[in-house]
Structure 1
Amino acid sequence: MQIFAKNLLIDQHGKATNFKLHSLQFPHMRALHLAWLSFMVAFMSWYAIPPIVYHIAEDLGISTVEIYDSNMAAVSITIIARLVVGPLCERFGPRRVMALILICGSIPCGMTGLITNGAGLIGLRCVIGILGATFVPCQFWTTQMFSPSVLGTANALSAGWGNMGAGITYLLMPAIYDGILSHTTNEIAWRTTFIIPCCICLFVAGLDFFVATDTPHGDWLKLRNEEENKTSKTTSESSSTTEKEKVVVSTTISVEKGALTDIEKVGEKGVLANVEDTESLQGVKKNESAKDALIGFGRVLIKPPVLIMIVHYACSFGTELAVDNVIGQVFREKFELDNSTASYIGSVFGLLNIISRLSGGLFSDYLGKRFQMPGRILAHCTCMTLEGVFLIGFSFGLINMHSAIILMIFFSFFVQAVCGSTFGIVPFIDPLNNGKIMGIVGAGGNLGGLIFNLMFREFAGDFETAFLCLGCIALGSGLLGNAILRVQGKMIWHIFSDNHPVPTL
């Protein structure tokens, strides 16, 4: 698979089968770059406070407990937001939803300078937390633009580079604060600093709305209206057509067959079968009512693969969210560093997303091409096992700063790689409900972040024990979950029994 291909290759559904990363070619590459850029600036504003919260607390007399409570508030609201945003993407398209979230979340971020106490900090971070929901349109957008054969890479790249926002904010916010502080007081400096990420988010929201489109075939709402008119006309002309003969529109091809020319048809019971001359699959439940969406949520939520992915994403992205909140504090308190130095070291954790989550997606796609779905599960299991091992190692490595930094790099890489391998599997669980599943699994990541933030609070500075618990949870859930995970009727054990076609290079 080519990442920097000279020409972008398109399949018969209009989806790209490779990448031209050095290009802003419309619509595929422009959508990909705006998806990760939007998620990145949202992450910057979402986590703009932790790098300089020490200065805010010093000025306003905010306690450590209130800081931990604000960390949990920033994560908890995102759980609800992601659940809501999934169906919104299915109805209005990812581009409009992305722009709306950026606008609604960035404005309270810019108002951070107005807080006067700990309660205000907790309340404000709760509202700002809706920016974390940008993950769902980010993944939904790339799913519309790229073929299933490269979907793991596309989703990992967009989300991984977006997650870099956490690392960038640990570099950017202290630098902005220090620059303003050199000309004024601490109070004015921290109150003014948050205007910068707010303005960046508003600018990117404008780009999303005005210079991109939702699908390879055009604007989401326009396509939805065309489908409504077509469906109405077809119904009036042919009322004798049975449900079994109707082709259900799908977000993506649900079964990996190794060949990009496969098209899927969904019958009355949702059983997939190959058909040869079927219309391109372009959207998913664009006209679903609120009642049907709610019922669909319940049906999706009880699927065992969805429940397992919720736990695994909680152990990966949830871990990342919790560590983003405390990593600067870990190095500041354990090794008696000043706030800026500790923040700069902590930024490495988030910045590794430039390669780590993408590596998880690439690994998933590579084994997926060789062994289909069992290969994707094997890639996921491998990454989760190494995540748990290095988290446990970090808990014992906090006695020395150099070993702590090295082990942080390793556990950071695999925590984020698991995020990529997770969404190398998620789009194939139930393609007809992709928006809902992405929202539910994404919310699971934030639920994990909430739980692990609470755990850090309860351990009250005992970071060794906290990271040891994180590692054990990730290792145990990874081994057990992947052992029983079944997607499209395939399990990890089928890698040893199935006959797999030799991949074409």
Structure 2
Amino acid sequence: MSLESRFNLFSFSGKMKVLHLSWMAFFITFAVWFNFAPMLQSVKESLGLTSEQIKTLLILNVAFTIPARVVVGMLTDRFGPRLVYSALLAICALPCFAFALADTFVQAAIARFLLGFIGAGFVVGIRLVSEWFPHNELGTAEGIYGGWGNFGSAAAAFCLPALALAFGGDDGWRYATGITGLMSLGFALVFYFNVEDTPKGATYFKPKSLKAMEVTSKGDFLLLLVMKLPLYGALALLAWKLSPTGVAMLSDTAVISVYLGLALLYCYEVLQVWQVNKIIFTEPVAAIHQYKFKQVAVLNVLYFATFGSELAVVSMLPLFFAETFELTPVVAGMVASAYAFMNLMSRPGGGWISDKFGRKPTLLILTAGLAAGYFLMGQVNSDWPLWVAVAAAMACSFFVQSGEGAVFATVPLIKRRMTGQIAGMTGAYGNVGAVCYLTVLSFVDYSSFFYVIAATAVLGFCVLWFMEEPQGQMAEVNHDGSVTLIDVSSR
């Protein structure tokens, strides 16, 4: 085995160079995406915001990522990860700068909403890494990509409050967030000039259409339409949150217009799904080209509970520790970063375990642990020693992030040419989960919030029994009509 073909974390050539540059890009996207969560108090005081407005900013921060991940997944499959990731990093620096310069709640809200687009970066790397690593290393590689990249939120929580203090004054948070935008802009160039979409000589398989995801049976056609509904429901929930019933950012007329727009958009998407897949109602799909969409549906539900809860908890945990244990914003941010800190080992660990012991058994164990972890978090109160509460958060985080690693150890093994689209939909479900959980948080206390997440994890555990362990090979058609068989398991 050549040095370049070995899995060596200390190498920076071949596939390992691609892996390292990919997690660095993802790291930066998360640092930008969550660059204000650890400085909520400073932003609140500087802009004169209410607690309800702060909670609205948290929801807005993850809302746009729902459609963005779906769209970016499709673009990645069509144009390749190199171009799409580079463009994403460059473009999203602009709303980051806009947030740093915001003077009103409306300006901050628009900037945070647009910044949700950078959360779609994760999807791009999933496809890129799957092109460079074989199935027996894929879970580990995707876990490192997701885990080390995800650590960007912990780095933001740990470093940005201190950086804001170093700049000093009421505008310290502005300089700290602005610096993350400069990082994003600069790394866009680094990524573009140092990454290739596939190893030399390999084919980059593209989907037949960008209009909609392909399915291979009538039942899957209906299941796809059903699984689209929560994506629109989450956006409708956000519109309701911004209505006069919520924070009154939008008028009743505007909210009704949003509802109608979402309904029309869904009808349009149904039409697109039909146009792409109508042939399955008249001609059976060859067995070699079939895949089961229920695999995608199960992973969607699991990512709702895993990444959805992580997004929500990372956003609220500094405030939770500050209020529960009466900590300063800086100390609370550093303590809360322990939750995301686990990403460094947990997510790669989940992927590695999946590679060694199977995708489904790993997910069953981790999902059960996730439910137990959030049940424990629901019992944390001011009577607990702080170190015990932090330990509980880290234990919960282990199962959450290992579960995420196990989910995306499976995603690239379903259908190679549609990996971006599948990753986009599954990733979007993570954001649907975050919007739902953060909306729940706006109505209940912290304890009930954690119990709700635990209950959805139990639901995910039940749904998981319908998933099938990836076996054998999947087929993709080359440009010349020949068929390439790609291993998805060693058996």
* Shorter-normalised TM range: 0.7 to 0.9
In 1, Cα distance between equivalents of 2:111 and 2:21: 27
**Native 8 Å contact 1:75 1:126 kept in 2:** yes
How far has the Cα of 1:122 moved from its partner? 1.6
| 438, 442, 465: which one aligns with 1:483 | 465
Structure 1, residues 343-370: CA drift from partner, whole Å, max 9, x if none?
Answer: 0001111121110100100110011xxx
Aligned equivalent of 1:125, options 101, 112, 115: 112
Distance 1:335 1:153, change over 3 A: same
Q: Note if contact 1:46-1:131 (Cα within 8 Å) is conserved in structure 2.
A: yes
The residue identity in structure 1 corresponding to 2:13 is Q
- Equivalence for 2:333: 343
The separation in 1 between residues aligned to 2:74 and 2:172, in whole angstroms, is 40
Report the TM-score, using the length of structure 1 for normalisation.
0.76
1:80 equivalent in structure 2 = 67
Q: Report Cα offsets for 1:121-161 as digits up to 9, x if no partner.
A: 22110011111000011111100100011111111110111
Q: Counterparts of 1:253-332 in structure 2 under 5 Å?
A: 282-285=203-206, 288-291=208-211, 293=212, 299=221, 301=224, 303-332=293-322
Residues in 1 aligned to 2:363 and 2:316: alpha-carbon distance in whole angstroms: 26
- Aligned amino acid, residue 301 of structure 1: L
| SS of equivalent residue, structure 2 residue 12 | coil
Partner of 1:192: 175
Give the gaps of 5 or more residues in structure 2: 226-292, 473-488
- Shift in Å at residue 453 of structure 1? 1.2
Equivalent residue number for residue 8 of structure 1: 4
Task: Please identify the structure whose Cα radius of gyration is greater.
Answer: 1
Residue 199 of structure 2 aligns to a residue whose secondary structure is coil
Match of 2:131 in 1: 144
| Aligned positions, number | 402
Report Cα offsets for 1:311-353 as digits up to 9, x if no partner. Answer: 1001001111001110100100001101000000011111211
Corresponding letter in the other structure for 2:467: L
Counterpart contact for 1:429–1:487, Cα < 8 Å? no
8 Å contact 2:78–2:210 — kept in the other structure?
Answer: no
User: Are the counterparts in 2 of residues 67 and 118 from structure 1 also a CA contact under 8 Å?
Assistant: no
In the alignment, residue 452 of structure 1 is paired with which amino acid?
Y
Percent identical residues: 29
Alpha-carbon distance between aligned partners in 1 of 2:213 and 2:465, rounded to the nearest angstrom: 31
Show the 5 A alignment for 1:14-413: 18-26=6-14, 28-181=15-168, 185-186=169-170, 188-217=171-200, 282-285=203-206, 288-291=208-211, 293=212, 299=221, 301=224, 303-367=293-357, 375-398=358-381, 399-400=383-384, 401-413=386-398
Distance across 2 between alignment mates of 1:62 and 1:37: 33
Offset from partner CA, 1:263-298 (integer Å, 9 cap, x none): xxxxxxxxxxxxxxxxx6x32226x4444x466699
- The residue type equivalent to 2:406 in the other structure is S
- Residues in 2 aligned to 1:313 and 1:60: alpha-carbon distance in whole angstroms: 34
| Cα separation, 2, equivalents of 1:365 and 1:405 | 30
For the residues of structure 1 that align with 2:453 and 2:210, how far apart are their CA atoms? 37
1:497 aligns with: none
SS at match of 2:49: coil
1:423 aligned counterpart, secondary structure: helix
2:413 alignment partner in structure 1: 428
Which residue of structure 2 lines up, in the alignment, with residue 463 of structure 1? 446
Q: Secondary structure at the match of 2:443?
A: helix
Q: TM-score, length-normalised on structure 2? A: 0.78
Residue of structure 2 equivalent to 1:222: none
Instruction: Pick from 423, 444, 452 the counterpart of residue 438 of structure 1.
Output: 423
Deviations 1:186-212 (A, max 9, x none): 1x3222222210111112111110122
Does 2:418 correspond to 1:418?
no
| Contact map agreement 2:64 2:116 (CA 8 A) in 1 | yes
CA contact (8 A) 2:136 2:490 kept: no
Cα offsets for 1:9-67 (capped at 9, x unmatched): 2xxxxxxxx412111103x1111011100000110000001111211111221011111
C-alpha RMSD of the superposition: 2.2
SS at match of 1:110: helix
Partner Cα separation in structure 1 for residue 129 and residue 186 of structure 2: 21
Q: Distance in 1 between matches of 2:402 and 2:411?
A: 14
The 3 A distance-change label for structure 1 pair 285 and 455 is same
Q: Judge conservation of contact 1:88–1:97 (CA < 8 Å) in 2.
A: yes
SS at match of 2:442: helix
Q: Report the residue type matching 1:284 in the other structure.
A: F
Q: Are the counterparts in 2 of residues 94 and 137 from structure 1 also a CA contact under 8 Å?
A: yes
Deviates further, 197-206 or 333-342: 197-206
Match of 1:472 among 443, 455, 460: 455
Deviation at 1:6, TM superposition (A): 8.5
**Structure 2 Cα separation of the partners of residues 151 and 174 of structure 1:** 36
The CA deviation at 1:431 is 2.8
